[in-house]
Structure 1
């Protein structure tokens, strides 16, 4: 694991703590101690002044957007700085963002384990439904098994194309906030914005190479800009 990107998320509960730095320095030190090996590279640090009981937190949303656009890990000093609600923690997995708590690194693996159990149960249910459908088809005299050289139907091809388009739209949306930050007026040329995205370390859709004017043009078309 080399040059692993992370976004640091620090939270305090009161304005007074935020202004005085009370609690922030301890969290920042925990993050620094956790990443001191040099295998981590910080993308940004976000500070939230908000109660952990609230699920709507602007800075956390910004941190998650940065993690998605940079394919980075969300790093918090303490697990309770993120949330005290297990349901909310599981919601992070749905965001497609990995997270690590410096005081409890195993929490990441534990959460993945929980999600894996859920996925396993879903696979079991899908398998059971598939077997039932095959048994019903066989009972009706439908010939099963083996590849008969059938190409995908027009509907199947359209569904596959739509799925690829949705993934591309989701990827473009994850970079939207970063583009707004790099080019707030929307006046940069395609080449200039490509250079900024590359310099900012934002991965291309393929994850390889640098951003090009053509890639930015495709991205803007998807974002309707």
Structure 2
């Protein structure tokens, strides 16, 4: 049975999955099944909505910081889903934070180190194959697509989708951090004091930065 303090980290690849709960609910269910029974505390949940193609993992960093600050163990629902993500694995290995992967409970820092090397090798192989395929297509005289060749409708559609994704990500961050900010405001009384507390505690902003909270940023978050 699980014992101790835990902080969970979940990740889905798209804002649509984040809004619908697709993928997230299965991960939450796996975590709850793991924690079933025992003297445990699930202190917080950090949700990442980010494509595996990108290395930016602000919520992973926030979860690791939270674990260090509160003496908790990081709980991951599906390590195998992230096993090709070299940035995630290396961050986990170097964090010095204890972790448990529900689907791979035998995993340890050595395991994730090996997985990280394999993931990096696979990424490099995919990149090499993609470049070779593009070069071959160009040699055959095939015209490759360029952003400037997109229609106006396509450009506007792409911009709108990117804006929706950013908004969804910001809304998700605000929903998760708002209870903490509200609690601090009730205790401290002013937005400036709340910003100072968040900076002192190393709480990350939506952009994944520490020490960057301001009274205006706190106000904007509470009003989302």
Smaller-chain TM-score bracket: 0.3 to 0.5
TM-score under structure 1 length normalisation: 0.47
| Larger Cα-atom Rg | 1
